[in-house]
């Protein structure tokens, strides 16, 4: 019995996505090619399209690995993580985790971390719009009330951990230069990623600033942040250091709102 259009489309999709050959029973050979070869052409075209999607999302990873190794990696990812979303934008979303957990890529932390940084920059670019808090907005509050203020981080801002010199590798590749050799650290470096003026940015944080940023994101009041900095280093200069970090965040567009405590 011939397939109706909907059944044929479903079966053809299974043939491409899942390798199901049942559709071969319902299609004829071509005048110059067998139906098996013709189906293989569609399957290869689909895989090549997905490789292109991964390459568009991870241009620097592609450059870092080289074309042959990148294509081999992409094919391994496609086989391990089939597409689950009709929007190609989300297809490579699991690539960083795949590289960190799958051999032989798990033995190359620089590869997984470069993919993580590129993914974070892509996500920041596509992130939600929000107001940008300015120093003028903050000036509306009297200095004596600052200890009770909460700050809301911009929704595109996110922290990732790096155990390699991934930031230096990204910068060199972006500049068209040869990437430096990978170096490893036992302690993580916090890398802050965000979007400002329609551009995705990142920078590495000192241990003290990373602690202050993470506590700010959790909803700590400014006064509490100053107390935390006082336990971290010189207590006398803690308010000045806190104000310096805050000004840097305002200048960079990292905050979207200030809220006085009830």
By CB atoms closer than 10 A (0-12, 13-18, 19+), residue 37 is: exposed
The predicted structure's pLDDT at residue 82:
84
Give yes or no for a contact between 135 and 250, defined as CB atoms under 8 angstroms apart. Answer: yes
The predicted structure's pLDDT at residue 33:
61
pLDDT by residue (tens digit) across 87-132? 778 889 999 999 999 999 999 999 999 999 999 999 999 999 999 9
The predicted structure's pLDDT at residue 10:
52
* DSSP category for residue 182: P
Task: Point out the residues of the chain with pLDDT beneath 70.
Answer: 1-46, 262
The predicted structure's pLDDT at residue 24:
53
Coil, strand or helix at 159: strand
How many other C-beta atoms lie within 10 A of the C-beta of residue 51? 18
The predicted structure's pLDDT at residue 109:
97
Tokens found for residue 191: 């890398």
Q: Domains of the chain: which residue ranges?
A: 1-107
pTM for the full predicted model: 0.85
Q: Report how far residue 168's alpha carbon sits from residue 171's, in angstroms, rounded to the nearest whole number.
A: 5
């Amino acid at each position: 019995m011939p397939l109706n259009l909907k059944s044929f489309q479903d079966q053809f999709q299974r043939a491409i996505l899942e390798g199901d050959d049942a559709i071969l029973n319902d299609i004829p050979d071509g005048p110059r090619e067998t139906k098996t070869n013709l189906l293989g052409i569609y399957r290869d075209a689909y895989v090549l399209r997905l490789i292109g999607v991964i390459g568009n999302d991870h241009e620097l990873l592609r450059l870092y690995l080289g074309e042959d190794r990148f294509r081999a990696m992409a094919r391994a990812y496609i086989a391990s993580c089939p597409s689950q979303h009709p929007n190609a934008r989300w297809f490579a979303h699991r690539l960083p985790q795949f590289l960190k957990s799958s051999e032989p890529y798990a033995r190359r932390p620089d590869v997984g971390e470069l993919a993580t940084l590129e993914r974070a920059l892509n996500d920041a670019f596509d992130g939600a719009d929000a107001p940008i808090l300015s120093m003028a907005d903050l000036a509306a509050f009297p200095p004596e009330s600052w200890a009770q203020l909460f700050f809301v981080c911009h929704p595109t801002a996110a922290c990732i951990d790096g155990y390699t010199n991934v930031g230096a590798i990204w910068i060199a590749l972006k500049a068209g230069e040869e990437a430096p050799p990978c170096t490893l650290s036992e302690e993580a470096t916090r890398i802050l990623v965000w979007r400002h003026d329609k551009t995705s940015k990142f920078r590495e944080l000192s241990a003290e600033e990373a602690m202050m940023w993470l506590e700010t994101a959790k909803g700590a009041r400014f006064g509490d942040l100053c107390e935390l900095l006082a336990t971290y280093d010189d207590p006398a200069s803690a308010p000045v250091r806190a104000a310096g970090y805050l000004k840097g965040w305002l200048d960079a567009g990292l905050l979207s709102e200030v809220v006085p405590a009830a």
